[in-house]
Structure 1
Amino acid sequence: MAPIRTLEQLVENVKGTAPRRLAVAAGHDETVIDERDEYQAGVRARDMVRDGEADVLMKGLIGTDKYMHLILDKERGLLPKGAVLTHITVLDVPAYQATHGKLLLVSDVAIIPAPDLATKVKIVTYAVDAAHSFGIEIPRVALLAASEKVSEKMPATVDAAIIAKMAERGQIKGAIVDGPLALDVALSPEACEIKGLRSVVEGDADVLIFPNIETGNVFYKSATILGGARLAAVVVGSSAPCILTSRADSEESKFFSIALGCRLAR
């Protein structure tokens, strides 16, 4: 399929596929299962997804802590053995659309505070899978740090270099991966030229991987508040996509997030 380049195209793409069933934890929807207790409402929604009665889980009025507990529950949760729960945001940034004409996938901005090397590899793998679902055959993945130079004084640069080498040797498939890269050279060919940096990403990233939640969250909020970006976001790594929206997210963002969850649902 042709790559999905805007959030509107995402919605149109989903409209052309088989309908998906959305279970909203403590929400108000066309079909309501009466459950007065907020947590038990979440349990019912989670179990509908687990038992195959729904394809996507979405947070409604239930608190975030309770929602995450439902997903991570060892007995009835949605996290397969050996998997990692992480968060993928799809950003439609006006400036990046103007220069590159495409969306930007970023991870992790909301769940994992300080991922270790093994966790970062899983984050990259999930992000690559998401990019493939958008029709991007060989996504360009930038592993971000404050500098392109590898230094043991900056652990993020060491992890990025290791993951880039793993991808080069085929341990991460289906993507072009490079790092460590500063944000400018990940997104700007001109910055690469000025710095004299040769990178397989070439300032044309499809995916940004952040070293920790602080950098990811600041970038995400800067892109939306200062850069006018629109977004869709979903939790992955679980057996089904789980939509986790912020109280500050617009109705439009929630709508696009539902479309994203439907796109990623198996």
Structure 2
Amino acid sequence: MGEIIKKLKYLVIAFVILFAGCPNTMVGLGDKVDIDAPSVSIGKYGDGSLIVNGDYVKGTITLTGSASDDIGIKEVKISFDGGTTFSVAEVSTDGQSWSYTVDTSQYEDGEKDIIVLVSDTSPTPKTSEERLLLYFDNTPPVVMVTVSPGYTSAASDSEFSIKGEATDPYRIRRVSVEIISGSADISNVEGTNSWSCVLSNAVTGTYSLKVTAEDFAGNISSHFFHYNDVNSLNGGTYITIENLYTIENGGDVDGASITTASLEGIRLSELDLSVD
């Protein structure tokens, strides 16, 4: 009996050694079972800058990120309408990263609920998603001068304010007033939607000023308006800067006699000022 027990001990030890050196103890049970769902993340734009939830973007952009799974990635898809429709993103050959290039001008301006969806290669694919909020904005702001000595003359060596308004549905970053010709000092512009600056130390002569507004997506206005012109074109009736934006971009405003076409004649690239 003792000899039999000794042989059984040796047999058990032999099995332990055999299985300890085997990388897959599930011998004969087939491929590795895919237990974990894949993961996906949103990382950077194509230029290497970080993607931040709530960013304002314009033009053609590239979104990139990473993906991983314990077995393999089947595909990565992206939606810009909250999951109603999806497009297939490009996945790297090692399945570790993805990218997608989109022309934001092909969409209406506004908030985009973006979903990046990854699926693995298991027979019944498991999925995971990552969400992102971006604002597509391809329309420049509208800016108007409301108070200035434009179309009149001002005394030399005096100070006078230039004031105005600017609007954009997706926020104004800054308003700039630049002296195109003439010698004078101009202060930094204060404010955005309602803005002002001071021109000082002007000498006798003719000056040209340029006013621009930039939104958070980087769109910059190519022209501006003067309140006197807008008011006259609208039959002497006041019109808000928001309504002017609507008309400028092809919309209609109840009670306004101004049309998009009629604005062509009062768009300004610069404002002339005569100093005596």
Both proteins in one fold, TM over 0.5: no
- The structure, 1 or 2, with the larger RCO (C-alpha pairs under 8 Å, 6+ apart) is 1
Higher Cα radius of gyration: 2
TM-score range, shorter chain: under 0.3
- Tell me the TM-score normalized by structure 2: 0.23
Question: 1 or 2, which has the higher strand percentage?
Answer: 2
- Tell me the TM-score normalized by structure 1: 0.24
